[in-house]
Structure 1
Amino acid sequence: MQVGVHLGYQNLRGESDMEFFRRETQLMVEAEAMGFDFAACVEHHFTDYAACPDPVQALSYVAAKTKTIKLMPAAIILPWNDPLRVVEKMAMLDSLSEGRAVLGMGRGAARREFKSFGRDLADSREIFDEAALIIMDGLETGIVKADTKWFQIPETEIRPRPEGWSRDRAVMVSMSPSSAEVAADYGLKALRFSQGDWSKALPEINNYRDTFKAKHGKAAPPFVISDFMVCFDDKDKVTEYTDKYFSAQFLQVANHYEFMSDHFKSLPSYATYAYMGQAAEARGGAHNAYKDYIGGNLIGTPEELYEKHLQRKAMVGDYEIIANFSFGGMPYEDVYEQMKLFADKVMPRLKEEEPAMA
């Protein structure tokens, strides 16, 4: 199993943005020394929810400070970015990191971000589907060209020329039935965020695997799960930190994506976000819904985390993890403590596991 760290850049600690951004980015550098396989960071804009407007630029800094860890924007939000520039940036990151870059792509879900970029949330499915093909073809061939509804790009050679790219090095955020189908159709590894009961995601996961095999004649790769993680030896501390910091994180998620709004109901391609809003409403509001949300994430002592992982693996099959330890305003000394404990006591057991039977 591949295990990584996922940085969300949530500034709730009262630090200046400049100081916070440096300290958050440093976690990806420290992850290599702890033995993590890859580092990932989000793209989000304009608020404390997640203040990382250019994950590729952040990862270029990490590339200069590390030697082996893989580097993945998780994810570049394609409706907000020119596909030609995405190909150029990923080629540069791959060159600087000596082949350690992994392409992560998503389509976004927050109206406030789409509005500032002059895009409509309702168009995200079409824009993503077109841009993803342009970007992947550009990385594989070194040539970018397009004549589609959303993009007109004359045939353009990329410099520095990308090398060694295939769809095995690309990951797509897949949080809806339509996204899972696109990921399978395009031959991409799927990334899912833990957002509740994993049994409810099984139809999408199984359809992804079935479609992938039918389209490409081989089994789908293990998908990636992004977990918000709480990991301490002390059970009381796990409970305390979950109640204090995970609830703060969930409120940020709910507010940023407007879970309590009904606008997702008119957007079938955002079915998962509509479900989250319905779950929150059923429990009396976003503040009281966080227990449903934490149920899908890995939270507990090291032994409890491993047992929860085994239960999840028995349900969903093989998967990889990118763990977010820094959220909700948690002090950085506690973030480091969690990362180190997980790396020492949980990660070795994950990495030595045999793959599950298909």
Structure 2
Amino acid sequence: MQVGIHLGYQNLHGLPDYEFFRRETRLAVEAEAMGFDFAALVEHHFTDYAACPDPLQALSWIAAKTKTIKLMPAAVILPWNDPLRVVEKVAMLDALCEGRLYLGMGRGAARREFEKFGVELADSREMFDEAALIIMNGLETGIVEADGKWYRQSRTEIRPRPEGWNRDRCVMVSMSPGSCEVAADYGLKALRFSQGDWSKAMPEINAYRDTFRLKHAKAAPPFIISDFMVCFEDRAKVTEYTDKYFAAQFLQVANHYEFMSPHFKELPSYATYAYMGDMAAARGGPDKAYKDYVGGNLIGTPEELYDKHLERKAMVGDYEIIANFSFGGMPYEDVYEQMKVFADRVMPLLKAEEPVLA
């Protein structure tokens, strides 16, 4: 089982931005020393919700400080980025990190970010689908060209030339039925965020696996789950930190994506976000809804975390983890503590497991 960290760059610490950004990014270097397999970085813009506008650039610094950990933007938001430039940046960083780079791609969901880039949220599905093919073909062939509805690019050779790229190194955020279908059709590993009861996600997960096998005559790869994680030896500290820091980050999530706004109901491709809004409304607002959100993530003592993982695995089958340990303004000494507890107590059990036969 592959286990990584997911850096979310949520600055609720009250630190100056430069100091915060440096401290958050250094977590990836420590993760390699602790034995994590992946360092994954978000792309978000303009607010304290998540302040990492260029994960590929940040990963270039991490690449220079590490030797073995795999690197992944999770994810580059395609409607905000020119496909030609994405291919160039990916090829350049992959050359420097000697093939450790994996490309995570997403389409975004926050109106406030789309508006600043002058892009319509309603267009994200079509833009992503078109851009992803251009980028993947560009990485596989070294040539970028396009003549579509959203992107037009004359035939252009990429230098440095991409090497060793195929779709096994590409990951797609898949948080809706439509995204799951596209990921399966394109032959991509899927990435899902923990957002509640996993049984409700099983129809999408099963449809992804069925379509993948039908289209590609092989089993789908294990999908990746991004968890917000609280992991301490002391049960009382788990409870205290969940109520204090997990609640704070969930409020940020709800506000950033406007879960309580009805606009998602007008966008079928964002069905999961409409569901989150309905859940919040039913419980009196996002400040109350976080308890269901907690239930979907891996939170507890090391023993509790592993038991929860086994319950989840029995439901969803094989999966991989990228864990976000830093959120809600949690002090960095506590972030490091729970990373170390998880790495020492839980990760060896995860890595020792035998895969489930597909």
Q: When the two structures are superposed, what TM-score results if normalisation uses the length of structure 2? A: 1.00
Partner residue in 1 for 2:167: 167
- Deviation string, structure 1 residues 144-191 (Cα, Å, up to 9, x no partner): 000000001000000110000000000000000000000000000000
Structure 2 counterpart of 1:210, which letter? Answer: D
Partner residue in 2 for 1:136: 136
Partner residue in 2 for 1:246: 246
Paired with 1:21 and 1:92, the residues of 2 have a C-alpha distance of: 23
Partner residue in 1 for 2:350: 350
Paired with 1:95 and 1:25, the residues of 2 have a C-alpha distance of: 21
Partner residue in 2 for 1:230: 230
Q: Does 2:94 align with 1:94?
A: yes
1:19-98 matches, within 5 Å, as: 19-98=19-98
Structure 1 counterpart of 2:59, which letter? Answer: L
Report deviation, 1:357. Answer: 2.8
Report deviation, 1:309. Answer: 0.2
Paired with 2:92 and 2:337, the residues of 1 have a C-alpha distance of: 33
Paired with 2:256 and 2:228, the residues of 1 have a C-alpha distance of: 17
Report deviation, 1:356. Answer: 1.3
- Deviation string, structure 1 residues 192-213 (Cα, Å, up to 9, x no partner): 0000000000000000000000
Partner residue in 2 for 1:274: 274
State percent identity of aligned pairs: 83
> Could you list the runs of 5+ residues in structure 1 that have no partner in the other structure?
none
- Deviation string, structure 1 residues 208-234 (Cα, Å, up to 9, x no partner): 000000000000000000000000000
Moved over 4 A (4+): none
Structure 2 counterpart of 1:72, which letter? Answer: M
Structure 1 counterpart of 2:150, which letter? Answer: W
Paired with 2:268 and 2:53, the residues of 1 have a C-alpha distance of: 27
Q: Does 2:227 align with 1:213?
A: no
Partner residue in 2 for 1:182: 182
Paired with 2:134 and 2:160, the residues of 1 have a C-alpha distance of: 17
- Deviation string, structure 1 residues 313-353 (Cα, Å, up to 9, x no partner): 00000000000000000000000000000000000000010
Paired with 1:349 and 1:271, the residues of 2 have a C-alpha distance of: 35
Report deviation, 1:58. Answer: 0.3
Q: Does 2:245 align with 1:261?
A: no
| 3-state SS of 2:113 partner | helix
Structure 2 counterpart of 1:239, which letter? Answer: T
| 3-state SS of 2:339 partner | helix
Structure 2 counterpart of 1:187, which letter? Answer: G
| 3-state SS of 1:98 partner | coil
| 3-state SS of 1:346 partner | helix
Paired with 1:287 and 1:271, the residues of 2 have a C-alpha distance of: 21
Report deviation, 1:308. Answer: 0.2
Q: CA RMSD in A?
A: 0.3
Q: When the two structures are superposed, what TM-score results if normalisation uses the length of structure 1? A: 1.00
Paired with 1:40 and 1:253, the residues of 2 have a C-alpha distance of: 18
- Deviation string, structure 1 residues 210-262 (Cα, Å, up to 9, x no partner): 00000000000000000000000000000000000000000000000000000
Q: Does 2:308 align with 1:308?
A: yes
| 3-state SS of 1:295 partner | helix
Paired with 1:313 and 1:272, the residues of 2 have a C-alpha distance of: 21
Paired with 1:57 and 1:217, the residues of 2 have a C-alpha distance of: 36
- Deviation string, structure 1 residues 108-157 (Cα, Å, up to 9, x no partner): 00000000000000000000000000000000000000000000100000
| 3-state SS of 1:165 partner | coil
Paired with 2:224 and 2:270, the residues of 1 have a C-alpha distance of: 19
Paired with 1:66 and 1:95, the residues of 2 have a C-alpha distance of: 14
Structure 2 counterpart of 1:89, which letter? Answer: K
> Could you list the runs of 5+ residues in structure 2 that have no partner in the other structure?
none
Paired with 1:29 and 1:91, the residues of 2 have a C-alpha distance of: 22
| 3-state SS of 2:272 partner | helix
| 3-state SS of 2:271 partner | helix
Partner residue in 2 for 1:17: 17
| 3-state SS of 2:296 partner | coil
| 3-state SS of 1:226 partner | strand
Paired with 2:38 and 2:250, the residues of 1 have a C-alpha distance of: 25
Paired with 1:235 and 1:318, the residues of 2 have a C-alpha distance of: 28
| 3-state SS of 1:71 partner | strand
Report deviation, 1:26. Answer: 0.1
Report deviation, 1:87. Answer: 0.3
